Amino acid sequence: MRPAEVHRVTVAQAVDRYIDMVRAKTATGALSPGTAEVYTRDVHTFARLAGGERVLDDLSGEDVDDVLLRFALKPDGRRGGRPPGGEEAGARQSGASQARFRRSVSAFFRYATVSGWVQLDPMAATTVVPRQRGGLRPERRALTREQAEGLLGTAQSLASAVPDGRRRADQRTELRDALIVLLLATVGPRVSELTRADLDHFYVNAGVRYWRIFGKGGATRDVPLPREVARVLDAYLAERRARTVETGALLLSWRGRRLARGDVQAVIDRVLARVDPQHRRGVTPHGLRHTMATHLLAAATDMDAVRRVLGHADLSTLGRYRDDLPGELEAAMRAHPLLGAPAESPDPG
């Protein structure tokens, strides 16, 4: 028999009430806007997959397992269902997205238990764990050197392109798109850090342009920009000044609003569509963060410097951002530091 205090609310009703709570916590500063956006998006997805008209307390662990697996197998909506190049693996949810979705659903059910919407938290009875779902993740996230150079070269060409006279000046996005790809691939910010960037977060010190990145937990880091990226940034800022926009946000839609996290993937895909098909592979914003870390570490860049650029407190975290590169071990052994140059043969004469 059900206890009297359990409220028979539907999934859709519970999600609406949960989102009201998330918004209230965001307004008081208890939750960051980025976290609130993720929770809101994920519980809406959960309601669609579970069935909004069902009673929340009727869902079993088996029902939640079904939702988790359906989420894992559904196309990634941020990418239009299929990345450039038609890679079927990339069209599914990554292992990281699946783990994030599970965390969001767990938080939702914890709140539902406290609120009296469910008798027992069904997450305790689920059997699908991130370890089992990890096989659906693409084998590698980082682009190869050729793929990364193709993407960056295309972005640089886009930044230097002659403006299309058929479009209004305030609707042109070439410089902005180029800047987004260059910042993601060379500095490796989280997508939330990129979209939160404001104009006054960039400054010049001793002739070097820096980006003060506001990361997780209120932590900040000052990262110097490569010269080519700084050049594109300056061109973009000059274009921005020509428009009368009453916002301090760095990245804007052509309507003049701050760019949303979900818009960044569309920008990457638009630039990727211009890359030579031989060097094109679909990639997410987080995949570009992996690409930056992988290639800096492969070039023997100081690990602590890479850690500071990425904004991590612990060196051990770098292992998650390090992918193997083709031919890397062979190149390392050819340049073995203990062997040096081969000794010259003595002159027989």
Identify whether 286 is a catalytic site residue.
yes
**Options 23, 100, 145, 216, the catalytic residue:** 216
Residue 267's contacts (CB-CB under 8 Å, 6 or more residues apart) are: 173, 176, 177, 180, 181
DSSP string, 5-55: T----BHHHHHHHHHHHHHHHHHTTSS-HHHHHHHHHHHHHHHHHH-TTSB
Query: How many whole angstroms separate alpha carbon 84 and alpha carbon 287?
Result: 14
Angle at 237 between CA 189 and CA 253, to 5 degrees: 70
Identify whether 74 is a catalytic site residue.
no
Identify whether 295 is a catalytic site residue.
no
Identify whether 289 is a catalytic site residue.
yes
**Options 289, 290, 295, 307, the catalytic residue:** 289
Angle at 93 between CA 87 and CA 97, to 5 degrees: 140
**Options 102, 190, 280, 281, the catalytic residue:** 190
Beta strands in 23-146 (DSSP E): none
Q: What residue has token string 């079927």? A: 88
Q: Residue 44, Cα to own-chain centre: how many angstroms? A: 20
User: Which of 299, 296, 300 is closest to 321 using CA atoms?
Assistant: 296
Query: How many whole angstroms separate alpha carbon 73 and alpha carbon 39?
Result: 20
From the CA atom positions of the chain, what is the Rg in Å?
Answer: 24
| Helix, strand, coil share of the chain (percent; to 5) | 55, 5, 35
State both tokens at 228.
Answer: 């080519």
Query: How many whole angstroms separate alpha carbon 314 and alpha carbon 21?
Result: 33
Query: How many whole angstroms separate alpha carbon 225 and alpha carbon 204?
Result: 10
**Options 201, 286, 308, 322, the catalytic residue:** 286
Q: Hey, which residues are catalytic here?
A: 190, 216, 286, 289, 312, 321
